[in-house]
């Protein structure tokens, strides 16, 4: 397991959830929800978070269908990740599978008594935490960086 903090990003049309972990990769915690409609502003804020947290990499959740296929949402996230890679360079950006993370996050929030209305503001952060926890577990068990690297858009 590589030592170093990581940031995870759950990209949505309206909001972008961000999570971070400790340098030992043990505990993932929510950071904030970035407004997602203004993409240039979102990239600026994510760049600021990368400067602040100094991660060894940024993990972006890639939405796939249950059978593993990629649809229009995955195409949008791939484009977002390529732009983000340029914004945060030289910090690497990696795409990791995020199947069912928002559903799982929503179930967890409801189980803990968070209302649907209040949950909207934190569900994206909770999904980012799950993305990060899954990626850390993959790296811990395989010894390799999770997901696939992203090339920055020129």
Instruction: State the CATH architecture for 6-149.
Output: 2-Layer Sandwich (3.30)
pLDDT of 122: 79
Alpha-carbon torsion 126, 130, 136, 140, what sign?
positive
Q: Which string of b and e fits 34-63 if b means at least 16 CB within 10 Å?
A: bebeebeebbebbbebbeebebebbbbbbb
In percent, the amount of the chain with pLDDT more than 90 equals: 69
Residue 145 has pLDDT above 90, yes or no: yes
Predicted TM-score (pTM) of this structure: 0.87
Give the pLDDT band (50/70/90) at residue 87.
Answer: very high
pLDDT of 84: 97
Among candidate residues 41, 54, 57, the one with its CA nearest the CA of residue 9: 57
Give the pLDDT band (50/70/90) at residue 15.
Answer: very high
Tens-place pLDDT, residues 41-75? 999 999 999 999 999 999 999 998 777 788 898 99
Average confidence (pLDDT) over 24-39: 94
Average confidence (pLDDT) over 99-110: 60
pLDDT of 124: 85
Residue 116 has pLDDT above 60, yes or no: no
Per domain, the residue ranges of the chain are: 6-149
């Amino acid at each position: 397991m590589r030592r170093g903090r990581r940031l995870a990003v759950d990209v949505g049309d309206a909001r972008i959830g961000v999570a971070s972990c400790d340098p030992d990769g043990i505990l993932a915690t929510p950071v904030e929800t970035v407004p997602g409609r203004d993409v240039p502003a979102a990239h600026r804020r994510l760049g600021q978070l990368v400067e602040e947290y100094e991660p060894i990499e940024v993990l972006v959740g890639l939405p796939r269908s249950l059978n593993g296929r990629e649809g229009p949402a995955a195409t949008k996230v791939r484009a977002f990740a390529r732009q983000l890679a340029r914004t945060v360079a030289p910090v690497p950006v990696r795409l990791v599978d995020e199947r069912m993370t928002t559903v799982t996050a929503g179930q967890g929030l409801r189980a803990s008594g968070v209302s649907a209305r209040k949950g909207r503001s934190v569900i994206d952060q909770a999904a980012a935490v799950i993305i990060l926890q899954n990626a850390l577990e993959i790296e811990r068990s395989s010894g390799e960086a999770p997901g696939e690297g992203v090339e920055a858009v020129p």
